[in-house]
Amino acid sequence: MTDELSTPGESPNGIWASSVADLVSYRHLGCTSQQVDRDRAVGTMRLRRDMRSSAGLLSAPVTIAMLDTAGICIDRVYFLGLTHIEVQLLDPAADVHTLRVQGTVVRWARTQVFTEATFVSADDPTRVIGVGVADWAVIAPTPEGFVYIDPSRAEEVDESQLPPLPLAYDATPIDGGHEISILSSRIGGVALHHGPILVTLEATAMDLAAATGAGSLAVEHASVRIVKAGTAGPFRTSGTIVRDGASVLVRSELIDHGNGNTLVAVAHHRLRRGN
C-alpha cells in the first residue's frame, strides 16, 4: 500500500498514520496482510456480496487486496507510484468465503518495482481463483523511521446495509459513467488513491456492458494504467464498448476535470456474458 499523501523529506510516521486513519480504500474491504520475508507477503479478505457481480468476483476489490499485500513489503523500502495493474479471474468463487492473496516481489529494479500475486481459497489453497500483477515507479527511498500500520481495521459488517461499492468510494452514477465530485482524505487527500480509481472504472465497464444486453456478467480480465495523478476533481469516468458478444470488451477512462481535463487512468475490462 503506497502512502500517496507523503513526499520525500516529510516525517513518515505522522503522515502515514493520518492517511491510514482516513483512507477508505483498504478499510472498507477489510483486507489485511502479513509479511513473510523481504519479497513475500500473504493477505486475506472476506468475500462479501458487494465484492461480487451477478456471476463472479469483481476485479477491483481483489486488486486492492493484492496491492495491500504488495505494499507491506515495498512501502518500507520506497515511495512508489502505481502505474499498471492486471488481474485475471479464473473461478467465480461463489462458494469461497475468504480469499487468500499470495504476493511476491518479482524484481527490485532501480526505477521500478514489479510485483505479482496468486489468489486462492483460504480454505483450499490448491484452488486458484486468479492471478494478478502490478508495476510501480520508484519515486524515492522511504525515510528511516517508517513503521507499517495495518490499514484494514477488519470488522464484521451487516452485508444487508452495505452501499454499492462505488458509493462507498464517494462515486455516484452519471450519464455514461461515474463521478467523484470532491477530493478528500477518504479517497486520497493530495492525489486520488488507486482504490477509487479501480472501483469507478470497473463500475463504469459493468454498467456499459449491462446496457448492451441481458444476462449475467462475470469479469475475466482487467487491465488499468494510471498515467497521471488526479489532484483536483471532479473526476468523471466514461467508456466505450470495443466488442460485444458472448465476451464483452470495454475501454474506460477517468478524467480530472478540475485539472484541465487531464487523463488520469485508462482501463480495459473483458466480461463474460452468461444466461
pLDDT tens for 206-224 read 999 999 987 899 999 999 9
Instruction: Give this prediction's pTM.
Output: 0.90
> What tens digit of pLDDT does each residue of 27-77 get?
899 999 999 999 999 999 999 999 999 899 999 999 999 999 999 999 999
H helix runs in the chain, sequence order? 12-22, 24-27, 59-74, 165-168, 194-211
Residues pairing with 72 in the sheet: none
Per-domain residue ranges of the chain: 12-155+163-273
Q: What number does CATH give the domain 12-155+163-273?
A: 2.40.160.210
> What tens digit of pLDDT does each residue of 99-153 get?
999 999 999 999 999 999 999 999 999 999 999 999 999 999 998 877 777 766 5
* Identity of the residue numbered 13: N
Closest CA to 237 of 183, 165, 172, 184: 172
